[in-house]
A and B are shown apart, each in its own frame.
Chain A
Amino acid sequence: MTGEMQGYLLYALSLLSLGGIYAILALGLNLQWGMAGLFNAGIAGFFASGAYTAAILGTPPVAGRLGGFDLPMPVTVAAAALFSAAIGWAVGRLCIRLRTDYLAIATIGIAEILRLIVRNEGWLTGGSLGISGIVRPFDGLGPPRADIGYLAVVLGCLVLVYIFVERAGRSPWGRTMRAIRDDERAAAALGKDVDAFRLQAFALGSGIMGGAGALTAYYFRFLSPDATEPLLTTFLVWVMLIAGGSGNNRGAILGAFLVWTLWSSTELVTGRLPADWAANLAYLRVLLIGLLLQVVLQRFAGGILPERARR
């Protein structure tokens, strides 16, 4: 294989791996927003808490920082999901009863707190140095086999999450959830504990986001406080879900891959430009993605794959 060919292959693998991780994030958000109508403006917080949990548990010991447990990936990913779900549960406990605007504000708050902790608590998170030395499974195979192996891991996780949320959606639990979203009072009148159902959906969605964070930490083999920045997680995932079709899991996955392809292929273009142009185009790209969101909201309210009417 020529060097150039291998470059394209690695690019495609990277696109698919990160696209798959975004698809998992979008499924998590779809569980919260699409099914339960709960607004989460702090995806970055749940994502980063998962990423750091996995990085701290999964790396060898380093002087001056907690960690060094060197646990295997399945354990760390599960722990990441559990930890983020616990945070989601705690936030939900506080404000799930209130109108969803308050939940939105509270989730911004939790994301901000986590950002501060990551930046300030070097003994825990490595501070601005971040955490390096995260080893992926299959890394011993060398590129591109290691990357193919990791893509398989990501896609495997995506399939598992998809099956889980689809089953949940079709179950009596999912039907109740949508009934609550569409008419809270009617559902309450039928004796459903509206708050409990919502809390479960919010915690589950947060847990899925935490798992996606863990996968990202392994993907980059390195984790820095940039993981807490809302642009690449909170904002992009919202655009993905709205564009793909909130309420529809396949729409969420499709939206994630489409928007991620759009987003990262513009990077190919900007990468070939002079540095100051490249920086400007990067901002223009954010502007255009923001505009895309507005167009979808106004013209294609249901997204590409709108929610199917179910009985």
Chain B
Amino acid sequence: MRILEAQGLIGGYGAMDILKGVDLFAEAGRLGVVVGPNGAGKSTALKAVLGMLELRAGSITFEGESLGGLSTSARIARGIGAVPQNDNIFQGMTVLENLEMGGYLVESPLAPRIERMFAIFPPLAEKRRQPAGELSGGQRQMVAMARALMAEPRLLLLDEPTAGLSPAFRADIFARIRTITEEGVAVLMVEQNAREALAIADTGFVLAAGANRFTGSGAELVADPDVRAAFLGG
């Protein structure tokens, strides 16, 4: 089931269009990966879904309803979670407080959700009272994802969750992202490490110069000679 459908997105900052016609979708329980060279508009496309960017054209529907005109916080309240690439944790606050902030809009008690996060990200459990800014890079990324998951979003947007991590940590983060989709969450992830990310993706979107170049299943794209030649380094 496609819970997010974004079509013909055109827009950017000021007079410059960064997106020149981008289509994206996300399916419940599936992992979508957005790849492409620097400046292709990958992160910008995620920002458009979050309403952090002025769109000149295009439509975005979430669970059948248009998101047009809604503020970022209203979109969050609808069930979209997001992890930015940078500044994605509250550094001066403890791990526990970070999770509480993730559940800011949740009306039910937070304790069960927090325990669930510690089950998904066990290393965080023992660091719960430490300021998040003092954790290692991989653990910070876990805090960032756990914060976003606290609201139990039905769609999770991840912007380069493995940036700056070693290959071992990268594999670990990818495995946890698969765990998240298995619980029925639709995940849309922007990733620099295109080959590895497409290998685990259900759907891949290859963007270049602000527009879709290829769209297909992850396996198809990895196998496609054109994609390999142009975007995966042969």
**Does a CB–CB distance below 8 Å link A and B in the complex?**
no
Q: Show the binding face of B for A, using Cβ within 8 Å.
A: none
